[in-house]
Structure 1
Amino acid sequence: MVSTYYPDTSFLEYLVTPDGCEQFYGSDILTMLHSGKVLTVNSKRRNGLILFKRYHAEFAGPGAAVGGDYDRDCLGALAIGNLSILCPETHEERQKAYLIRRQWIRLIRQITESSLASKRVIKILDQFEQYFPSEMVSQLPDEAFALLVGVLPQTVANVRHSANDIEDKYDH
């Protein structure tokens, strides 16, 4: 198997979604994350952020803390759902948000424990489809899932393609 790695090419400038639309990373979200303020993803909505770091991505789902010192190294962010960011008002709210962020990180870590790349992709896609509508998940770029679970974007594309082939087979 031959793989190609382009360390100087950053897809974080923009992504092209499956429907052909370019999706730009809002500098507003990045500015907010780099402000130094601790914020939280609204726990009362199905929303979240995929936070792109230099060599990986993290998911901050409902209730999770974002920003502060924790995300100063964030290079890009992809909002999922109708994103709502809140400012925790008390120390207890901030502590709870940090604990929830840790839970999201642990969930992704459990998914990445599998040595089979395709299994990691299947697990992350299934996990996202539990939280978000499948149409929304299908619009998320392969690169985002690849960075979340440590696989090549081509692996995500192959798994998605295989899943679509199986669905088409059973639809007929």
Structure 2
Amino acid sequence: MDSENYQRYQTTMVSTYYPDTSFLDYLVMPDGTEQSYSSDLLTMLLSGKVFIVNSRRRNGLILFKRYHAEFAGPGAAVGGDYDRDCRGALPIGNLSLLNTESHEERQKAYLIRRQWIRLIKQITENQVPGQRIQKILDQFEQYFPAEMVAQLPDEAFALLVGVIPQTVAILRRMSSEEESNFDD
């Protein structure tokens, strides 16, 4: 490769590096508003106490870790030692966290949390980024209203399935254009 080609390739590279002061300090919602997640919810999760996402509601949490995100749906344990590395939390639905009453209740909640992690793991095993995004969006839309899913930021889905946020935005835009063409 000669130096002219090398320079051309260098100028076209796109950085996907997110520094420690990344978008986890705030997320830009699809409507353009910024939402902060240095909240009481994060303080609660980092307190060391274990909570359970209420299984009687359609609610959950996207927990942002350093390089990825995890989804804790209804019945899942959150907080405690399990989420000491949590850097942000995005509530979905009408979030309700319950205190754990017994050791057995905590054990069951940890097993449910593992099931939610396995579901996301199955999605991320697909090597095609667009298919991972589509699958996670489909899963969320099966459980939550489509309008609610549409309001979740691209960054959240990107960190759940290991893609860059721009890829999520492109796929969402293409899907909405297809739907509007179908409606015509």
TM-score scaled by length of structure 2 = 0.90
Distance in 1 separating the partners of 2:148 and 2:160? 17
The structural deviation recorded for 1:125 is 0.2
Distance in 1 separating the partners of 2:118 and 2:30? 29
What count of residue pairs does the alignment treat as equivalent? 172
Instruction: Find the counterpart in structure 2 of residue 125 from structure 1.
Output: 137
CA contact (8 A) 2:64 2:88 kept: yes
Q: 1:146 aligns with which of 137, 158, 183?
A: 158
Instruction: Find the counterpart in structure 1 of residue 31 from structure 2.
Output: 19
The structural deviation recorded for 1:2 is 4.1
Q: How does 1:98-109 map to 2 (within 5 A)?
A: 98-109=110-121
TM-score scaled by length of structure 1 = 0.97
The structural deviation recorded for 1:26 is 4.8
Instruction: Find the counterpart in structure 1 of residue 41 from structure 2.
Output: 29
Instruction: Find the counterpart in structure 1 of residue 14 from structure 2.
Output: 3
Partner deviation per Cα, 1:39-89 (whole Å, 9 max, x = no partner): 100000000000000000000000000001000000000000000000110
Which AA in structure 2 matches 1:32?
M
SS at the partner of 2:90?
strand
Please list every run of at least 4 consecutive aligned residues from structure 1 whose deviation after the TM superposition is greater than 3 angstroms: none
**Which has more radius of gyration?**
2
Identity within the alignment, %: 73
Q: Which runs of 5+ in 1 are unaligned?
A: none
Q: 1:160 aligns with which of 172, 180, 184?
A: 172
Superposition RMSD in Å = 1.1
The structural deviation recorded for 1:6 is 3.0
